[in-house]
Amino acid sequence: MALLSSRIFFTSHRPLSVSAARLADKMMADPIEHATGKEKRELLAQLAGNDDPYHSKAIKRMSTSSKANPNPVPSAFDSRIVGCICEEDATHIKWMWVYKGTPTRCACGHWFQLVEKPPL
């Protein structure tokens, strides 16, 4: 009878108190270890110092541009949509497609040309 009661006591104290103490010692896993595919490549690029791996940050337009000296538009594809804020106080953005190999002129007179960048 004494043997039976000690087994019940041991199993009834095991579950939560032990696991809670172990969780307090562990840290959260590093996101890079769980990431795969594009997310992992993006995290690795950020570790390497590239904070804009998809070239999605806004680029300040040159003050003057011409067909011979257009604003560069980085892209890993054959075309990209570009938004031009034509005037400083403009309340809208002029959107246009820029295609590979062909400089594109905005309605305000600025020129844009696609520049190939390797995909991530």
**Chain residues that interact with Zn ion, rule: CB under 5 A:** 84, 86, 94, 106, 108
Cβ-based nearer residue to Zn ion, 8 or 68: 68
Work out how close the CB of 65 gets to Zn ion at its nearest, in angstroms, rounded to a whole number: 10
By C-alpha distance, which of 71, 52, 59 is closest to 113?
71
- State which residue, 109 or 119, has the beta carbon closest to Zn ion: 109
Q: Which is nearer to Zn ion, 83 or 119 (CB)?
A: 83
Please name the residues in contact with 83: beta carbons below 8 A apart, sequence gap of 6 or more: 93, 94, 95
Nearest to 70 by CA among 112, 116, 115, 14: 112
> Which secondary-structure segment (H or E) carries 94?
strand 94-99
CB of 71 to Zn ion, least distance (A): 10
**Closest distance between Zn ion and the C-beta of residue 112, in Å?**
9
In this structure, what token pair is assigned to residue 33? 């270890």
Residue 40 or 94 with smaller CB distance to Zn ion: 94
Min separation Cβ 38 and Zn ion, Å: 31
